[in-house]
Structure formats: C-alpha cells, structure tokens
C-alpha cells in the first residue's frame, strides 16, 4: 500500500490474468487520499490497516475471524489535492463492470455512501469467446 511495484505479479507467476497499473494502483490511491481503510480475509482471519494521507496509522492487525478470501478497500480522495470531490457513479460502474466481466470469479461492489447507491458486479462462470476477422 505504500511501496510502488510491490504487487504479487512481480515475484513470478502469481497471476494468470492481471489488469492493473503494474504495482502502482493501490499505492497511488493511498498517497492521494485523505484516508484509506483496508480489510483482508485470509487464512480464516480478518486483517485491518488504516492510512492517513498515505501513512499507516497502525500496524496491520487481526480484526477478527473470516471465511474465504478477499480484500475490501475504502478511501476518500484528498480535497487538498483534487479540490471538490464528486465521483461519477455511472462512469465508475461502467469501468467496474468491464473489470468484473474480464475476471471470472471476481466480485466487485461499488458503494457511494454520499448518494446512497450500490452496485455489485460478478462473473460466475467462463463464457465462450470467439473472434472473427
């Protein structure tokens, strides 16, 4: 969350499919946000860490038990950097839909707490792909 190019895809064959910014995405969001909160489900535990303006507030801590795996990230863009913050929910939904469609089994929920909107995208199974030239 604080080091560029620190993602798992840099250590070998961790991903068969990857669509990101080569290890800079989460770090940049963290650096440009007033706050970031991350919850990670792994090994039957729920881990938590919070950052303020890119700096960890506390060390990673076990916040409880969990089932399955997954990551939840919440953030607020820094108005000192961006000025007035207004997210376009429909534009974000379009992008999230594309990412979910390309990654079987990935569930992404987009929640706009300011306008009380929520949308979840999830591709449950593979689909037939064909290409004509």
Dist. CA 57–CA 79, nearest whole Å: 20
Helical H segments across 10-132, by residue range: 25-31, 79-82, 89-102
Find which of 38-42, 67-71, 127-131 is predicted with most confidence, using mean pLDDT. Answer: 38-42
Summarize pLDDT for 46-64 with one digit per residue, the tens. Answer: 999 999 999 999 899 999 9
**Cα dist. 93→31, 46, 58, 109, 119 in Å?**
23, 27, 32, 9, 7
Distance of CA 130 to the CA centre of its chain: 30
Helical H segments across 2-109, by residue range: 25-31, 79-82, 89-102
Summarize pLDDT for 91-119 with one digit per residue, the tens. Answer: 999 988 888 888 777 888 888 888 899 99
Is the pTM higher than 0.85? The answer reads no
């Amino acid at each position: 969350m604080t080091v560029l190019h620190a993602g798992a895809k840099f250590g070998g064959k961790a991903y068969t499919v990857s669509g990101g910014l080569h290890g800079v995405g989460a770090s940049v969001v963290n650096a440009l946000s007033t706050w970031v909160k991350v919850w990670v489900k792994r090994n039957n535990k729920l881990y938590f860490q919070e950052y303020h303006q890119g700096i960890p507030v506390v060390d990673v801590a076990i916040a409880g038990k969990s089932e399955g795996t997954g990551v939840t990230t919440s953030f607020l863009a820094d108005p000192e950097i961006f000025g007035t913050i207004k997210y376009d929910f429909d534009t974000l939904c379009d992008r999230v839909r594309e990412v979910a469609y390309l990654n079987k089994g990935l569930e992404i929920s987009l929640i706009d707490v300011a306008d009380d909107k929520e949308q979840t995208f999830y591709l449950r199974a593979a689909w037939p792909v064909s290409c004509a030239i």
